[in-house]
Chain A
Amino acid sequence: MKLKKSLIIALVLVITGIGTWEIYWRSQGFYPTIDDDKDLWAVQRAKVEKATDQDVLLTGSSRILFDIQLDAWERETGRRPIQLAYVGSSPLPVFHDIVENTDFKGTIVVGVTPGLFFSTTNPKANPWEWPQSRVDHYHNRTYAQRLNHKLSLPLQESFAFLSEDQGIDGLKLKELLGKVQIGNRIPNNMPPFHEFGEIARDRNLKMKDIVVRDTAYANSIIRVWMFFGKDAPPPDKEATMAFFLKDLEKYKARGGNVILVRCPSSGGLREGEKMRLPRTEFWDDLVQKAQVKSYHFEDYEQLKFECPEWSHLSAADAEIFTTELVKIILKDNALPTSKTH
């Protein structure tokens, strides 16, 4: 029974090895997190098929993800929104998918991060390709993929070493090997990029406390924004506006409600936005042409916040921001109906 002996040895070593591996990474400050992957997004997208006219969808980029807290929104309106925003993305592909492929005619909140909203309609460019790949995955996902996702969630929530984080915080073998650098054959000037949010099963995202507590950590993220901002391609206002307005008209024609939201940014990033994408030329023009309810954080004292890394709100501020934003929206009768307190 030589093989049986080998099997027992292997099992003992594997359990010991994986246990040690997990303990080591936890001792280094890592903990289990859920991956914001295509499957997690698709689960939320699937909810749209059964959503009613009273429901709210959130689309946009990371600012909507970080800044709109689902608990706070639900507390104020009685309904939990469906979070469909995704980091580094234009909201246009997701909005287009909702308009073209669903009968939904409730409220869609469109987050307008100028550098992403007005970035491109090129299907190969990241701000378009990333959200589009999620839309495509939703439409093409197999039953096996759905099952794998359901089975993987309890594991993701239990083991830190299963984290799908990439780059400097990545723990997968591929990521660990990717950190090995020999020489400078391919110059890579991108600063190390830390993961700075934690997502829940319903894609409610909160900024990690460390970003608020540790200035060096926050500065490392700021350096990444500056790196991307430096070589960002020029905006394509004409194409993006035309694409969005066409979908918007179609959505409005079937009775849908759209709200545009400009979430806070601060520091050098806000100054950069003012220079590259001045409000009058981009936001104001969009609002004027869209003819829907629109909220810019600079127009309301209660919506003005300092972002720890210039682009997103801390978890505590996001809670306040959402509460105040919803109050303004409700007061403005921008939602079809609202909870009566």
Chain B
Amino acid sequence: MLFNSLSFVIFFILVLVLYYAKIFNWTNKKRMLLLASYIFYGLWNPPLVILLWISTMVDWIAGNKLAAEENQRKRNMWLMMSMFVNLGFLFFFKYRDFMLDNFTAVVNTYGYGYQSQPMDILLPMGISFYTFQTMSYTIDVYKRQIEPARTFLDFALYVTFFPQLVAGPIVRAKDLISQFYEEKKATANQFIWGLFLLSIGLFQKVVLADTLLADTSNTAFGSASVLNFLDAWAGTLAFSGQIFFDFAGYSTCAIGIALMLGFFLPDNFRYPYASLGFSDLWQRWHITLSSWLRDYVYIPMGGNRHGVLKTYVFLMLTMLIGGLWHGAAWTFIAWGGLHGAYLILERLQRRYLPFEITAKNGFFLALTTFGCVTFTWVFFRAKDFHSAWNMIKSMLFLNPDGEKILGTFDIIKVFIVIGIMLLCHWFMRNTSMKEVSEKTSPWILGVVWAVMIFMIAIAQGSGEQFIYFQF
């Protein structure tokens, strides 16, 4: 079920009515939320709810065994079993055909003429999100950083909680499970603020991503032609904006919906396109994934504890895994590799060419960071390396005879939207929406809110899927 759909509106109103009506005690309210979460997921593809159940059962059992068991060998075994099941699902559904294709390509370079049979299996929505979330629980219990969930209901709800089930934020057990222990009820202010966040999230998705940017990006990246300089930049910038508004929009909706039920989810985006460098970027973009990779991949691998060279290797490996997490294709790995290279170059710069960041050079640095990030999006969005390389060459003015495929108004529209987005990120980078809203007159806030809802109403189409669902 999509947040930007009529069925979700009805579904959420029913959930709210049942949640706030005085007919259930807290345990039954949680049961209702769990059932609602399964319905939320099952309305997409009912049989795949079974995967959620298996993942829940396996990590519930593993978590309890890990907490009770003292024998290290047995503890390792339980951890391995959890990893095997979760990563096994991920591998089978997401990476099987990719691995098979590469295996076939390698084998055939030796002239074996092997023909693989891709299974074209349906990728369960949000599998990368909920497997990472459940794995974090098991690993944290293994490291004795958290206690296992008190009840199976609390744990099942943690795995399945519908606001963040299919596209995050990826929430740690310590941040969410404990919220289920005591009865939660949003205050009037929290409820209205949650509704405001839901409106902003939908505005980002429906108006900014789908209506103003998606077509330009799809036209540019879907074109078989080598593009003109302006068209390549407009298409790539449009995608930079589209993916931010799409994903941040989903996260903002999720945070708002959870808040309307009285739960707090962590921020996932903090104005990332005003980042001053790439370390800053990863503390602002998809924060819950980057912190997951830091805590469960980079640091266990060795982090910065084994000298400069190994730190760089671990950084690069972490970012390559981050790229692969997004999709089973070499272009995603190249995207991760570029970000790894950026992080290494930034560390080298800090070591050998340090400089103080001021207001003036800060803005320039933010623009440079955004420019570099924009180049990486080409690999993220392009269907293959050939198209990506053509797009990069066009952006670097190396295809002077490239074809013009976008109208003047489309180009102007993209530059205006992206320009406003960058300015907003720059002015908001050290504050939050909550802080700004508290300083804003209720009349202005009301008018802004009304404009957003009005725009959603006149823009809403058949309900485009969120880009990150495919991951």
Chain A residues with a Cβ under 8 A of chain B: 1-14, 17-18, 21, 37, 142-144, 147-148, 151-152, 155, 161-162, 164, 171-174, 177, 180-183, 185-186, 188
Are the C-beta atoms of B455 and A7 separated by less than 8 Å?
A: no
B interface residue count range (under 10 / 10 to 19 / 20 to 34 / 35 or more): 35 or more
Which chain A residues border B43 with CB–CB below 8 Å? 142-144, 147
B353 within 8 Å of A (CB atoms): no
B461 within 8 Å of A (CB atoms): yes
| Chain A interface SS verdict (over half) | helix
Task: Choose from B46, B406, B407, B447 the contact partner of A143 (Cβ within 8 Å).
Answer: B46
Are the C-beta atoms of B5 and A161 separated by less than 8 Å?
A: no
B442-454 CB contact bits vs A (8 Å, 1 = yes)? 1101110111011
Which chain B residues border A13 with CB–CB below 8 Å? 446-447, 450-451, 454
The stretch from B26-34, B94-102, B185-193, B332-340 touching chain A is: B185-193
Task: Choose from A11, A18, A21, A185 the contact partner of B404 (Cβ within 8 Å).
Answer: A185
| Cβ of A28 to closest chain B Cβ, rounded Å | 14
Task: Name 24 interchain pairs, CB-CB below 8 A, sorted by A.
Answer: A3-B188, A4-B189, A5-B443, A6-B442, A9-B442, A9-B446, A9-B447, A12-B450, A14-B450, A142-B45, A143-B42, A143-B44, A147-B7, A148-B6, A164-B461, A171-B458, A172-B460, A172-B461, A174-B211, A177-B212, A177-B409, A185-B404, A186-B406, A186-B407
Which chain B residues border A173 with CB–CB below 8 Å? 207, 211, 455, 458-459
| Cβ of A176 to closest chain B Cβ, rounded Å | 8
B1-23 CB contact bits vs A (8 Å, 1 = yes)? 11001110010000000000000
Expressed in whole angstroms, the Cα–Cα distance for A12 and B454 within the complex equals 11
Which chain B residues border A185 with CB–CB below 8 Å? 404, 406-408, 411
Expressed in whole angstroms, the Cα–Cα distance for A183 and B215 within the complex equals 19
Expressed in whole angstroms, the Cα–Cα distance for A160 and B185 within the complex equals 39
Are the C-beta atoms of B404 and A186 separated by less than 8 Å?
A: yes
Expressed in whole angstroms, the Cα–Cα distance for A148 and B6 within the complex equals 6
For A18, A148, A155, A171, the residue with the greatest tally of chain B CB atoms inside 10 Å of its CB is A148
Are the C-beta atoms of A10 and B450 separated by less than 8 Å?
A: yes
B462 within 8 Å of A (CB atoms): yes
B317 within 8 Å of A (CB atoms): no
Are the C-beta atoms of B450 and A148 separated by less than 8 Å?
A: no
Residue of B nearest to A177 (CB): B413
Instruction: Given contacts A13-B450, A14-B454, list 17 more A-B pairs with CB under 8 A.
Output: A3-B437, A3-B442, A5-B442, A6-B442, A6-B443, A9-B449, A12-B450, A13-B446, A21-B454, A142-B45, A143-B42, A147-B6, A151-B10, A182-B412, A185-B407, A185-B411, A186-B405
| Cβ of B247 to closest chain A Cβ, rounded Å | 20
Which chain A residues border B413 with CB–CB below 8 Å? 177
Which chain A residues border B189 with CB–CB below 8 Å? 1, 3-4
Expressed in whole angstroms, the Cα–Cα distance for A144 and B46 within the complex equals 11
Are the C-beta atoms of A6 and B449 separated by less than 8 Å?
A: yes
Are the C-beta atoms of A174 and B459 separated by less than 8 Å?
A: yes
Query: Do A2 and B442 contact each other (CB < 8 Å), given the known contacts A142-B43, A173-B207?
Result: yes
Are the C-beta atoms of A7 and B7 separated by less than 8 Å?
A: no
Are the C-beta atoms of A17 and B2 separated by less than 8 Å?
A: no
Residue of B nearest to A173 (CB): B459
In B172-196, the 8 Å CB interface with A consists of: 188-189, 192-193, 195-196
| Cβ of A180 to closest chain B Cβ, rounded Å | 5
Are the C-beta atoms of B195 and A7 separated by less than 8 Å?
A: yes
B463 within 8 Å of A (CB atoms): yes
Residue of A nearest to B189 (CB): A3
B457 within 8 Å of A (CB atoms): yes
Residue of A nearest to B46 (CB): A143
Are the C-beta atoms of B445 and A6 separated by less than 8 Å?
A: yes
| Cβ of B256 to closest chain A Cβ, rounded Å | 13
Task: Choose from B7, B196, B407, B458 the contact partner of A161 (Cβ within 8 Å).
Answer: B458
| Cβ of B310 to closest chain A Cβ, rounded Å | 47
B196-235 CB contact bits vs A (8 Å, 1 = yes)? 1000000000010001100100000000000000000000
| Cβ of A10 to closest chain B Cβ, rounded Å | 4
Which chain B residues border A11 with CB–CB below 8 Å? 450
Are the C-beta atoms of A181 and B409 separated by less than 8 Å?
A: yes
Which chain A residues border B449 with CB–CB below 8 Å? 6-7, 9-10
Expressed in whole angstroms, the Cα–Cα distance for A3 and B449 within the complex equals 11
| Cβ of B246 to closest chain A Cβ, rounded Å | 15
Query: Do A172 and B447 contact each other (CB < 8 Å), given the known contacts A142-B43, A143-B43?
Result: no
In B37-71, the 8 Å CB interface with A consists of: 42-46
Expressed in whole angstroms, the Cα–Cα distance for A1 and B192 within the complex equals 10
Residue of A nearest to B122 (CB): A140
Are the C-beta atoms of B454 and A182 separated by less than 8 Å?
A: no
Query: Do A4 and B192 contact each other (CB < 8 Å), given the known contacts A180-B409, A185-B406?
Result: yes
Expressed in whole angstroms, the Cα–Cα distance for A173 and B2 within the complex equals 20
For A10, A14, A148, A152, the residue with the greatest tally of chain B CB atoms inside 10 Å of its CB is A10
Which chain B residues border A6 with CB–CB below 8 Å? 192, 196, 442-443, 445-446, 449
Expressed in whole angstroms, the Cα–Cα distance for A144 and B195 within the complex equals 22
Expressed in whole angstroms, the Cα–Cα distance for A4 and B189 within the complex equals 7
Are the C-beta atoms of B193 and A3 separated by less than 8 Å?
A: yes
| Cβ of A228 to closest chain B Cβ, rounded Å | 21
Which chain A residues border B457 with CB–CB below 8 Å? 14, 18, 161
Query: Do A14 and B458 contact each other (CB < 8 Å), given the known contacts A1-B188, A185-B407, A186-B404?
Result: no
Query: Do A182 and B409 contact each other (CB < 8 Å), given the known contacts A18-B454, A164-B462?
Result: yes
Residue of B nearest to A3 (CB): B192
Are the C-beta atoms of B407 and A144 separated by less than 8 Å?
A: no
Are the C-beta atoms of A7 and B461 separated by less than 8 Å?
A: no
Expressed in whole angstroms, the Cα–Cα distance for A188 and B409 within the complex equals 14
Expressed in whole angstroms, the Cα–Cα distance for A177 and B215 within the complex equals 12
Are the C-beta atoms of A182 and B408 separated by less than 8 Å?
A: yes
Which chain B residues border A8 with CB–CB below 8 Å? 446
